Structures are given as C-alpha cells and as structure tokens.
Chain A
Amino acid sequence: MSKASHVYVTYIRATPEKVWSAITDPDLSGRYWGHRNVSEWTVGASWEHRRLDAGKIDLVGTVLESQPPRRLVVSWAFPGDVDKPAKVSRVAFDIDVHKDDMVRLTVSHTDLESGGEMERGITQGWPFVLSSLKSFLETGKGLL
C-alpha cells in the first residue's frame, strides 16, 4: 500500500504558547476549527476531535510526542478505523519562533493511505483550518 504525506507551512503573528493553546485547548479550538480537541496531551493519552453541537467524535488518536509549546505529534484516524493500522495516519505540529512575535507553524500529515478518504479530506481541510487558526490568533476571529 503506498503512503502519502502532506506538509503545510503557515507564519502567524503570535507566540508559540498561543499557538499551542489554540491547538490543544478545547474551547479555543472550537472557535476556529468547529471542533473541540480533547486530551490530557501527555504521551500515551488518547485525544478526540469532537463536534461543537452534539459532541459527535470525528477523529481519534493517541498522543505520540508532547513538548509544549514546540512540538506535538498525534496519531489520527476515523473512530471506526482505529484498530486498522493501515488507516491510522500521523500528524506532527512543529511550532518554531521565526522572529520576535512571529512563529512558523508546520503541520506534517504522514502515513496517509494514498488516495483514501482521509487523504482527500485533509487536503481540503488543512488549508482552511490553518487559515482560520491564523485569523483567530491575529484578529480574534476565525473563519467559521
């Protein structure tokens, strides 16, 4: 099975701590992502991506690395696929200070089933989510 990966780089006028919180705080992620990201964010803990309305869980995974506020790596799957290793992908968030008040956020989504539903979804999804995150941190208002 061939695997695909996609990398997205965004520069945001914010501190690494603000970017980390926006990704890991369920109330904040709800405001620009429309989903609460819920976890203890310690290595080995599970995480869930829950819709705001009825709380339906759209994605689940495990925290693989957690170095606040610089690097977070999680596994990433649809809830029904969590026991199928071929369908579990991996997302790394790298938050690097570029200069003064600006960070470079790199999202690397790897181990994707090539041409599968998850790959199709995330190539639509990440550009919007990262744009909305940047707007939220720079203007106080996401794009939802």
Chain B
Amino acid sequence: MNPHQNRLDPSSFKPKSVYRTYIAATPDEVWQALIDPAFTKQYFFGLASEVEPRAGGRFRLLWPDGREHITGQVVEWSPPRRLCVSWDIQNMPPFSELPSCLVTWDVEADGAATRLTMTESHNWEIPREIMLGGEEGWPKIISGLKSLLETGKPLAFDMSAGPPPEFVAAVEKAAKEKPWMRK
C-alpha cells in the first residue's frame, strides 16, 4: 500500500491506555531494544521489527517466516527519546479489520534507571472489551523487554490459552458493525 494514500492525522488520536516501567539500562540501550529486530524477536512474541529511521518511514513487525503481522508508518522519530508509529494488524481477520491505532514509546532517563512509557491511542470510541487484548499483551512484552535488558534472558510466555474470549467477541462484533465509520 502506498503510505501517502493512507496518511493519518495523529492529532485525531486520543490516549486510551498507558503502560510504564523503569529499567536498569541507559536510554540508548532501551531505544536499541525497541527498534533492533535481534532484540524484538526475543521479547515481542518472536516478531522482528523493521523501522525506517525517519518520520514517514515504513514500520513493520514480521513473523519468523517473514509474513507481516503489523504494518504502519513512523509518525515521530526522535532517538533516543520518542518513537511513535501507526499500527495496523495484517492477515488476521477479524483483528485486521480494526482501524489503525498509534503506539508511542517515550524513553526518559530517571536517576540511574530509564523510564519507558508506552501509550496506545485510538481515533474512535473503542469498546472497553477490545482494550483487553492490549491489557493481556503489553504487560508481557514490557516485562520481557525489562528482563532481557537487565538479565540478558527473555521471559518465555505460555501462549496456549489464546486471547481472552470477550476480547475476540468484541472484535468480531466491531468488524461486522464498523462503528468507526459513524462520524
């Protein structure tokens, strides 16, 4: 897809959830872990990141076999302080029917540690149940990132339970009704 056909207006997105952790590492080390596929593969459910280092550049998260899971654009590229990307799920109906969201990572030195804040923003009235998907996933990703940087060892999660059923049901309903089309 031509990203210019798909330019989004970041100011129309509102923060809907925030996750924060403090890591015994430097901001540069945390930044590297956010963008380097050698790191993301270890803490982001096996996904390799691919980031074009400029605003407007391409952003993707790829499965080990090279298929796209997430695609988007770099909205803000300010190393090592802020990375904001748009976020579209691919090839996974009904989840890939959902509109883009924004994922923003803020990296700030705080004493001897680095404060990492992840904000998920949406431009529609996303139902509470759909937020459960992120509430299930982001703490695993962020806990795993912290363990990897501090101990050199990622966390191995048990993914056999699958996503919460009320989350899946809410996404199916939204994919059918497309409430984001109502303005």
A and B associate in one complex: yes
A2-40 near B? 1/0 per residue, CB < 8 Å = 000000011111000000000000000000000000000
Q: Is B146 close to A, CB under 8 A?
A: yes
Query: A127 near B21 (CB under 8 angstroms)?
Result: yes
Measured between alpha carbons, how far is A13 from B156 in the docked complex, in Å?
Answer: 10
Question: Which of B45-53, B76-84, B135-143 participates in binding chain A?
Answer: B135-143
Q: Which B residues touch A13, using CB under 8 A?
A: 147, 151, 153, 155
Query: B156 near A143 (CB under 8 angstroms)?
Result: no
Given contacts A11-B140, A11-B155, A98-B157, contact A134 B24 (CB under 8 A): no
Identify A138's interface contact among B21, B151, B157, CB under 8 A.
B151
State the total of A-B contacts with C-beta under 8 angstroms: 56
In terms of DSSP, what is the predominant structure of the interface of chain B? mixed
B144-168 near A? 1/0 per residue, CB < 8 Å = 1011001101011110000000000
Q: Is B20 close to A, CB under 8 A?
A: yes
A89-102 near B? 1/0 per residue, CB < 8 Å = 00000000011101
Q: Is B169 close to A, CB under 8 A?
A: no
A127-138 near B? 1/0 per residue, CB < 8 Å = 110111011001
Q: Is B55 close to A, CB under 8 A?
A: no
Closest chain B CB from A85 CB (angstroms): 28
- Give the bracket for the number of chain B residues in contact with chain A: 20 to 34
Residue of B20, B112, B143 with most chain A CB atoms under a 10 A cut-off: B143
Measured between alpha carbons, how far is A127 from B110 in the docked complex, in Å?
Answer: 13
Closest chain A CB from B31 CB (angstroms): 18
Query: B24 near A99 (CB under 8 angstroms)?
Result: no
CB closest residue in chain A, given B140: A11
Q: Is B22 close to A, CB under 8 A?
A: yes
Closest chain B CB from A100 CB (angstroms): 8
Q: Is A141 close to B, CB under 8 A?
A: yes
Measured between alpha carbons, how far is A111 from B153 in the docked complex, in Å?
Answer: 37
Query: A127 near B22 (CB under 8 angstroms)?
Result: yes
Query: B147 near A132 (CB under 8 angstroms)?
Result: no
Measured between alpha carbons, how far is A98 from B22 in the docked complex, in Å?
Answer: 22
Query: A98 near B158 (CB under 8 angstroms)?
Result: yes
Query: B143 near A139 (CB under 8 angstroms)?
Result: no
Contact residues, A95-134 vs B (CB, 8 A): 98-100, 102, 104, 127-128, 130-132, 134
Q: Is B38 close to A, CB under 8 A?
A: no
Query: B22 near A9 (CB under 8 angstroms)?
Result: no
Query: A143 near B151 (CB under 8 angstroms)?
Result: no
CB closest residue in chain A, given B160: A99
Q: A10-B139, A11-B140, A131-B113 are in contact. List 15 more A-B contacts (CB 8 A).
A: A9-B139, A10-B143, A11-B144, A13-B153, A99-B156, A102-B155, A102-B157, A131-B22, A131-B146, A135-B24, A138-B147, A138-B151, A139-B150, A141-B24, A143-B24
Binding site for B on A (CB under 8 A): 9-13, 98-100, 102, 104, 127-128, 130-132, 134-135, 138-139, 141, 143
The 8 closest A-B pairs by CB, nearest first: A11-B143, A131-B22, A127-B20, A9-B139, A99-B158, A143-B113, A131-B21, A139-B150
